[in-house]
Structure 1
Amino acid sequence: MAKAREYSDPSVYNAHHTRFEQEGLPHGQTAWLDRARQVAEILAQDAAQRDIDNIAPRAEISLLKSAGLLKVLGPTKYGGGGETWETGYKVIREVSKGDGSIGMLLGYHVLWSTTANVVGTAEQQDSAQEIIIGNNYFVGGAVNPRDSDLKITSDGDTLTFDGHKNFNTGGVVSDLTVLEGVLEGTEDHMFTIIKTDQPGIRFAHNWDSVGLRLTESGSVKIDNVKVPWADALGWDPETKRPITDVLGIPFASLLLPTIQLVFSNFYLGIAQGALDAAAKYTVKGTRPWPFGGDNKDKASEEWYILERYGTYRAHLNAADALADRAGAETAKVYAEAGQHGSTIIDSQATLTNVTTNGNGHTNGHTLSGSRSAISARQRGELATLVASAKVVTTDTGLTVTSGIFEMLGARATGKKYGFDRYWRDVRTHSLHDPVAYKKREVGVWHLLDEVPEPTWYT
C-alpha cells in the first residue's frame, strides 16, 4: 500500500482566492501576464521552505485555479480565456519565476488539457473543453514513452487500461488524468481522459528527486480502468478503428513540439527568477571583497559582479526573444490549422491524426472535424525552431542557475535562501530527453535541409 500523503492546505491562500474570484478572468495578453506575475510573487514568498517541506501542492493548484490560469487557452463559451499558445507559454514562464515546480505543473496541464483538440474529433474536443474549463479541473498525465505502453483491451463498448508508469506528472493533485496506450492486437496508440479519483489509479507517492520536488511526478499503477469506447480520442466507437482518410498529414504530432516548448519556457522562467532573486540578495546582502586591490564600498559596485550580471541578463534576453519567436510560430501554425487557443475557428476541414508506433514510425489517421491539415515540412520547421529554443534555454538555464552563487558569496548557500533550488529544478527536468539530440536536429536541418521525423520527443 502507498503511504499516506500530506497535502498543503488551500485555505492558506483564502485572501488571494477571494480577490482573484472577485476580479474575474483577465482579458488580453497583458492582463494575463500581470495575473501570472501576481501568482509568481505569491509563490516566491515561501518557495524555498515549501521545497524543503516537500508537501503535495494541493494549495498551490488551488491558487492556479482561483487565479484562472488553468483556463488561459480555454474556449470563452465555457468560461475560458480564449488565448493562444503565444500567451500560454508566457504565462507558464512567469509563474515559473516564482516556483519552478508549480510552473511545470501549469505547463503540463495546459498541454494535457488541450489533448483532445489535437488528437480528438470535433465533438470530443468540445466535450473535453466543456468538462475541463467548465469545472476548472487540473489535468495530469500518465504518458511516459520510455516506459512500456499501457495495455488496452476491448470488451464490447468498453476499453480497459492496465499497466505501470514510472513518471506521472501532477497526478496526485489532479482532477483528471490523460492515459495513453496501445490497443491489444494492433500497433495503434490511443489517448483518453479519465477521472483521477478512482480505485484503478494507485499512486506510489515516491517522487523524491533533487529538483522540481513539488511536481508529484512519481509512479502510478493503472489497474483495470474502464473507459467507454466513445472516449477513445480520435477513434470510431462503431468500427473500433481510428477515423481515417487519405491525407496522412501530421497535425496530431504537433503535441510533441508543443510540449517541448512548454519545457523551454519553464526552464527560462526558472533561470529568470534565479537571476532576479540573486540581484535582490546582492544589493542587500553580498559583502564587497576587501582584497582585490580595487576595493569598493558595495558589492554592487564591483566590476566582476556587474560584468557577470550583465552577461547573464544578455543571454537570458536572447533566450527570451527566441522563446517568444517559437511561441508566436506555434500559435501561427495552430491558427493556420483552424485553431485559436482551444477554440476551433474553421468549420469545414478535416484533421489528420498521426500516431507513433513503438518503432518511432507514424501511422496516418484523419479525424473528421473542423481543422485543416498542415504539411510535414511546416510541422518539421516548427519542431526545429522549438529544438533551437530547447538548446538555448537548457544551456542558458544551467549556466545562470549554477553561476549566480559567484555573485552572492558563501552565506547565500544557506538552505533557508533556497538559491540551489533553481539549478536543481532545471537540472532535473533537462534530463527528460537528451538535449544533444535537439542540437543534432538543428544541425541536420541547417546542413542538409532535412526536418526531423515525428517521434515521442520531437
Structure 2
Amino acid sequence: MSVPQGFSRGQAALIENDIQALQIADEVAAEFVRDASVRDRERRLPHAELELFSRTGLGGITVPRAYGGAGVSSVTLALVIARIARADASLGHIPQNHFYALEVLRVNGSPEQRRRLYAEVLAGARFGNALAEIGTRTAQERTTRLRREGGGYRIQGRKFYATGALYAQRVPTLAIDDDGVQQLAFVERHAPGLEIVDDWDGFGQRTSASGTVNFNEVPVAAEDVVPFQSAFARPTTVGPLAQLLHAAIDAGIARAAWEDTLAFVGRRARPWIDSGVGSATEDPLTLQILGRLSSRLQGAEALLERAGESVDRAQAAPDAESVAAASIAVAEARAITTEVALDAANRLLELGGSRATLAEYNLDRHWRNARTHTLHDPVRWKYHAVGNYYLNDALPPRRGTI
C-alpha cells in the first residue's frame, strides 16, 4: 500500500483544517478502493488500511483546536466518512463509533479526560465501541455492569455489534453503574478479562468486525469513565452526530454503486471493472432510471451537507430547539440516504443484468453493504419524527437513533 503524498511513515500526521482533511480523505480513499472488492470477497481484515487512516491524522480531525486538533466542522466530518465509505463501506463504517466516542468525550468529559484522551487520538489511537447488546427486551436496555472496586471499577457483561473494537486501542464501553446510571468506560484494548471475538459473519459490511466483546471482571480506572446518560438528559449533539455519520456511510455506498453502474453499463473506465463489459445505451428506460437515480443521489448528498450545517449550529449553541432542529435535519438526510443507497445498489444489478452478479466483479457487495448497514435503525421512525415535528411542533426524543 502506498502512502499519500507528503506523509511519512511511522508517525501520526496533524491535519490542520477542513480543506486538508478533505484532501487527505480523497488520497486515502484512492488507496482503499483498489482492493475493496478483494477484501470483501475474501474477508481480509483491513488492519493496514486502518493504520494508514490513523497515521494520516484523519482519526483526530474532530479534536477541538483548544486541544491541538483541527476541530473540523460536522459537514467536513460527514464528507470525509462518505468519501471513505464510497471507497470501502466497511472502512467508512469502522470510524463511526470512534467519532461518536469523541463527541461524548467533548460534551461530557472533564478537561483532564479530554486532554489525555484527545492526545492519544492525535498520536494515532483508535477508539472502537462496545455499546449494543443482544437478547435484551429493547434496544435501549443494557445489562453490562460497572461495579466500583477500590479507587476504580470492574466491568462484567457481553456486547455485540462492536464495530471497530477488533482494530482499536481503546474500547469505549456502555455500562450501568451501582446507581443504575449509564457510563462510558474507555477500556484499554489489552485490559485483563477483555475478549474481542471476531465472529461477525453478516453478508454485508463483512470486514467491519462488528462482533462480540466479552467483559470478565475487566478493570478500568476511574479517570477513564465518562458520564454517558446525561448526554441525552440534556440537549447535546451526541445523537444527531451519530446519525449524521450513518447517513454519510449510506451516501458513500450509494455513490459507489452509482459510479459502478455507469462503468458496467456505459463503459466508464474503472480499474476494478473491465471497461469493455458494457456498452453505451440509448435505451430510454435505462436513461430514465439513471436520470432519476442521479437526481435522488445528488439530493441526498445535499441533504447530508445541510444536516451537517444544522449539527454545527447546534454544537455552537446547544439548546432544546437547536438540537431538535439538528435531529430532524439529520433524520431527513438519513431517511433519504437509506433509500437511495438501496435503490442505487438495486439498479446496478438490474441494469447490469446477470453478468453483474459474477464473482469476478463482486458488484453485489454494494447491495449487501447497503442492506446490512441501513438496518442499523428503522427509517420508518425517522419519517414519523419528521412529520410530528412539522405538524405538531413535537421535539424528537433525545437518543442516538433519531
Offset of residue 115 of structure 1: 2.4
Q: Judge conservation of contact 2:4–2:27 (CA < 8 Å) in 1.
A: no
Tell me how far apart the structure 2 counterparts of residues 399 and 124 of structure 1 sit (CA, whole Å): 43
Give the equivalent residue in structure 1 for 2:285: 304
Offset of residue 222 of structure 1: 0.9
Q: Percent of aligned positions with the same letter in both sequences?
A: 26
Offset of residue 282 of structure 1: 2.1
Give the equivalent residue in structure 2 for 1:172: 166
The gaps in structure 2 that reach 5 residues or longer are: 134-138, 268-274
Offset of residue 305 of structure 1: 2.5
Counting only pairs closer than 5 Å after superposition, residues 193-342 of structure 1 correspond to structure 2 as 193-234=186-227, 250-252=234-236, 254-284=237-267, 285=275, 298-336=279-317
Offset of residue 207 of structure 1: 0.4
Tell me how far apart the structure 1 counterparts of residues 321 and 60 of structure 2 sit (CA, whole Å): 31
- For the residue of structure 2 that corresponds to 1:220, the secondary structure is strand
Q: Judge conservation of contact 1:179–1:194 (CA < 8 Å) in 2.
A: yes
Aligned length: 387
Q: What is the TM-score with the length of structure 1 in the denominator?
A: 0.79
Offset of residue 126 of structure 1: 2.0
Q: CA RMSD in A?
A: 2.4
Tell me how far apart the structure 2 counterparts of residues 89 and 274 of structure 1 sit (CA, whole Å): 18
| Aligned pair partner of 2:348 in 396, 404, 409 | 404
Give the equivalent residue in structure 2 for 1:450: 394
Offset of residue 64 of structure 1: 0.6
| Aligned pair partner of 1:392 in 329, 336, 339 | 336
Offset of residue 266 of structure 1: 0.5
Counting only pairs closer than 5 Å after superposition, residues 59-74 of structure 1 correspond to structure 2 as 59-74=48-63
Aligned letter for 2:295?
A
| Aligned pair partner of 1:191 in 167, 173, 184 | 184
The gaps in structure 1 that reach 5 residues or longer are: 1-12, 236-241, 289-297, 337-373
Counting only pairs closer than 5 Å after superposition, residues 141-180 of structure 1 correspond to structure 2 as 141-144=129-132, 146=139, 148-180=142-174
Give the equivalent residue in structure 2 for 1:93: 82
Aligned pair 1:36/2:19, yes or no? no
Give the equivalent residue in structure 1 for 2:270: none
Aligned letter for 2:234?
P
Give the equivalent residue in structure 1 for 2:136: none
Q: What is the TM-score with the length of structure 2 in the denominator?
A: 0.89
Aligned letter for 2:290?
Y
**Which stretch shows the higher mean deviation, 146-155 or 101-110?**
146-155
Q: Judge conservation of contact 1:108–1:262 (CA < 8 Å) in 2.
A: no
Q: Judge conservation of contact 2:132–2:161 (CA < 8 Å) in 1.
A: yes
Tell me how far apart the structure 2 counterparts of residues 111 and 456 of structure 1 sit (CA, whole Å): 10
Q: Judge conservation of contact 1:182–1:188 (CA < 8 Å) in 2.
A: yes
Tell me how far apart the structure 2 counterparts of residues 79 and 401 of structure 1 sit (CA, whole Å): 40
Tell me how far apart the structure 2 counterparts of residues 24 and 131 of structure 1 sit (CA, whole Å): 13
Tell me how far apart the structure 2 counterparts of residues 223 and 208 of structure 1 sit (CA, whole Å): 24
Tell me how far apart the structure 1 counterparts of residues 64 and 321 of structure 2 sit (CA, whole Å): 29
Aligned pair 1:113/2:113, yes or no? no
Tell me how far apart the structure 2 counterparts of residues 286 and 312 of structure 1 sit (CA, whole Å): 23
- For the residue of structure 2 that corresponds to 1:140, the secondary structure is coil
Offset of residue 17 of structure 1: 6.3
Structure 1 residues 233 and 17, CA gap change in structure 2 (3 angstroms): same
Offset of residue 377 of structure 1: 2.5
Give the equivalent residue in structure 2 for 1:369: none
Structure number, greater radius of gyration: 1
- For the residue of structure 2 that corresponds to 1:39, the secondary structure is helix
Tell me how far apart the structure 1 counterparts of residues 184 and 385 of structure 2 sit (CA, whole Å): 27
- For the residue of structure 2 that corresponds to 1:114, the secondary structure is helix
Q: Judge conservation of contact 1:93–1:265 (CA < 8 Å) in 2.
A: yes
Tell me how far apart the structure 2 counterparts of residues 428 and 38 of structure 1 sit (CA, whole Å): 27
- After superposition, the C-alpha distances for 1:112-138 in whole angstroms (9 at most, x for unaligned) are 2332112212332222212222x2111
